[in-house]
Amino acid sequence: MPTPRLSQTPLPGIGVRYDLTTKDEQHVSVVAHRDGTRTLSAYERDDPDACSLSLRFTSGEATALIDALMPSHHSPSLLSTTDLGLVAERVELSALSHWNGRVLGDTRMRTDTGVSIVAVLRRAEAIPSPGPDFRLAGGDTLIVIGTREGVDAAAGILGRE
């Protein structure tokens, strides 16, 4: 299979545009905006200037899409949690979160949902295995693992404003 054709174009004041032409001659572009959002666009085959699809993603949505396209659990060196009936997900706390400034233990996460918070991503730092006295902050991304039902319940609890 030939190498995909990918080009990169700086967009002053906006970000960077990445253009990809697939082996089937389909043209797709992604604009990486300076604010962290992404716009994915697909173009008509017979008219490369005619956009047939344009989707705007928040940075969290773009990360989720990347995870869906290239799931890390496909790596043979990593444990595949889905084979065990478990899921691992990222849950972001909003700046207006009820939990902003409160300690992790206040969430009663493990007690009420059976979910474990295995790490917290804060800015460019990863905090592994946070204890119950760990203070949460708006913008934190919590890495949670548990059953599908437990992770959904955890996302609901953590999404409380």
**Per-residue pLDDT at 17 exceeds 50:** yes
Q: Is 59 left (phi over 0), alpha (psi -120 to 50) or beta?
A: alpha
Query: pLDDT of 41-86, one tens digit each?
Result: 999 988 878 999 999 998 888 888 887 777 654 444 344 555 677 8
pLDDT at position 68, please?
A: 78
| 75-158 CATH, one of 3.30.450.20, 3.50.30.60, 3.90.76.10, 3.30.70.1450 | 3.30.70.1450
* Token reading at 51: 């956009």
User: How much is the average pLDDT of 129-142?
Assistant: 93
Element (H, E) at 68: helix 59-69
* Token reading at 23: 């082996």
On whether the pTM is more than 0.85, the answer is no
Instruction: Write 12-20 long-range contacts (CB < 8 A, 24+).
Output: none
Query: pLDDT of 86-133, one tens digit each?
Result: 888 888 888 898 999 999 999 999 999 999 999 999 988 889 999 999
Q: Is-contact 44 50, C-beta < 8 A?
A: yes
